[in-house]
Amino acid sequence: MLDACLELMEQDYFELGEAFKGLSDENVWKRPAEGLLSVGEIAGHIAYWEAIRLAGEGEDIAKCRVSSPLIDPRFRYYTTTVQTPPSEQHLAMTAEQVYSELLRVHNESVAHFKTLNPDLENPPPGMAPGLASNTYSDSLKYLVFHVAYHTGQIYSARHLLGEVTPDN
């Protein structure tokens, strides 16, 4: 099961790379409409949860074994993100930098998870019940869906901003 989920996540990241191809730097942090998140904010959300679930101990960022500007509590959930503008540090990141950082967080988080080698039927430490994370197995399955879902949002945000994306 572990190998299958990790293989599917690699497919997710291939598609995520496609979603970033040609993304204009001026549009990476631009929200396509009121109430919608920017590509950068969506990327931060993906990075936050992947690091927390694979390289963390619950949502205490200080205990996360991966650090990144994208692993920021403002990206935890939509309602917080939509009410909190990105920091100056975030706004300075180009599309290429955001994707590179997202990929680095992914690779480091997966490496930490493999090193941890947990029993997949055990619950991850510190995760609140009901977050699709009752076991490590549940977390992995959900992450596969999570990255794919938000990759689709990135394509939609780009389309709404008037960008032409790779054929997906």
- pLDDT band, very low/low/confident/very high, at 1 (cuts 50, 70, 90): confident
**Considering the chain, what percentage of its residues have pLDDT values greater than 90?**
83
Q: What's at 47, amino acid-wise?
A: A
Mean pLDDT of 12-18: 97
Q: Is the pTM of this model over 0.85?
A: yes
Contacts (Cβ under 8 Å, ≥6 apart) of 32: 38, 156, 157, 160, 161
DSSP characters over 54-121? HH-STT-GGG-S---TT--GGGSSHHHHHHSPPPHHHHT--HHHHHHHHHHHHHHHHHHHHHH---TT
Task: Compute the distance between CA of residue 117 and CA of residue 57 in angstroms, rounded to an integer.
Answer: 14
Task: Compute the distance between CA of residue 142 and CA of residue 69 in angstroms, rounded to an integer.
Answer: 23
> What pLDDT was estimated at residue 131?
57
> What pLDDT was estimated at residue 128?
60
- pLDDT band, very low/low/confident/very high, at 167 (cuts 50, 70, 90): confident
Mean pLDDT of 34-39: 97
Tokens of 138: 């549940």
> What pLDDT was estimated at residue 60?
87
Task: Compute the distance between CA of residue 67 and CA of residue 63 in angstroms, rounded to an integer.
Answer: 10
Task: Compute the distance between CA of residue 139 and CA of residue 50 in angstroms, rounded to an integer.
Answer: 9
Domain positions in the chain: 2-160
Which class does domain 2-160 fall in?
mainly alpha
Task: Compute the distance between CA of residue 25 and CA of residue 58 in angstroms, rounded to an integer.
Answer: 33
Mean pLDDT, rounded, of the chain? 93
For residue range 101-152, what is the model confidence (pLDDT) as tens digits?
999 999 999 999 999 999 999 888 776 655 555 889 988 999 999 999 999 9
Q: What's at 11, amino acid-wise?
A: Q
Residue 131 phi, psi dihedral angles, 5° rounding: -100, 35
> What pLDDT was estimated at residue 130?
57
Task: Compute the distance between CA of residue 111 and CA of residue 124 in angstroms, rounded to an integer.
Answer: 16
For residue range 61-85, what is the model confidence (pLDDT) as tens digits?
899 999 999 999 999 999 999 999 9
